[in-house]
Amino acid sequence: MSRILVTGAAGFIGSHLCAALLADGHAVVGLDAFIPYYPRPLKERNLAPLQVRPGFTFVEADLRTDHLEPLLEGADAVVHLAAMAGLVRSWQEFDSYMTCNVLATQRLLAATAAHSGAGSPHFVHASTSSVYGRFATGDESAPLEPISPYGITKLAAEKLVLAYGQQFGLRATVLRLFSVYGPHQRPDMGYNVFIRKLLAGETITVDGDGTDSRSNTYVLDCVDGIRRALATPEASVGQIFNLGGGEEVNVIQVLEMLEELTGETAHIVHGPPRAGDQRRTVADIAKARTALGYAPQTSVRDGLRAQVEWQRTTQ
């Protein structure tokens, strides 16, 4: 059994990961600062089932300001999911993105590096396909050309992880996540908005012409990739991996699936494309498949079905 620190534990991916790690028999220290990106009660709802589980400890702390080294005592691994997400607000609130995504990562790396050496914690960092830019269609060696302040701060965080690994011998892995969806998805994310408005009979605004496509990743497939990186440090340390799903779909195709799954008709209007939005993402997961045995199992339709059922019961 390992002791694993998970940052962003009350969030979308973090809450699922904590549950999976506990089921694997690990002790989990979950950390969250409840940054007011979206309402705190939604995160507390994610956290509630975890807090009654044996082996789970929750700490409310801010990576940007609080003393972090005590949280690393006895830790075998750190999974750094905490971040300021969402590209739209990054144009208006750059200071928040800089501090949450860059400063917080640097401080956590410094605290982890203080425990470097034999038996040092394995640092698994969650990055994003946004580091590739408008088109994320190649493998991990593709050019890095982010087109939003969000993507730029996440790329800076990646570079910090790799720098600390080289300078201090920190055992580190970077995972680039592609468009994660499913139960617990943040309320600002596209599929959550589409489902919520479909169920309420409200008009849905599609940014652009609806042909932007994504290589969507169901949240439990994403969690499986993270678990595999943790379980195979000999293959993952010092490496960067794409974690994505097996299907590429565009916005119009997703809305058609959601109409079938909800039994509702989408009332659509089109707005201008969002500044900094990716045009197409297709996750090349060959490296993760070979090194980690990563193989996403969930079709987009099945994943959307699970998200629809979750939103029906929680909203």
Residues designated catalytic: 150
Length reported for the chain: 315
Helix (H, G, I), strand (E, B) or coil at 57: strand
Give the number of other CB atoms < 10 A from CB of residue 286. 12
264: DSSP letter: -
CB 281 within 8 A of CB 129: yes
CA 56 from centre of chain: 21
CA distances from 14 to 4, 10, 46 (A): 12, 6, 9
Torsion sign across C-alpha atoms 261, 262, 268, 271: negative
Count Cβ neighbours within 10 Å for each residue of 204-219 and write b for 16 or more, e otherwise.
Answer: bebbeeeebbbbbbbb
Q: Please, how many CA atoms are within 13 Å of residue 178, restricted to the half-sphere of its CB?
A: 31
Q: Name, in order, each residue with C-beta under 8 angstroms of 92's C-beta and a sequence gap of 6 or more.
A: none
Give, in order, the Cα–Cα distances in Å from 236 to each of 12, 51, 82, 192: 24, 30, 20, 32
- For residue 218, what are its two tokens? 């169901």
Dihedral, CA of residue 45, residue 51, residue 56 and residue 62, to nearest 10 = 60
All residues at 6 or more sequence positions from 159 whose CB lies less than 8 Å from its CB, including other chains: none
Nearby residues of 146 by Cβ (< 8 Å), 6 or more positions away: 130, 131, 132, 133, 152, 154, 155
Tokens of 175: 């995972």
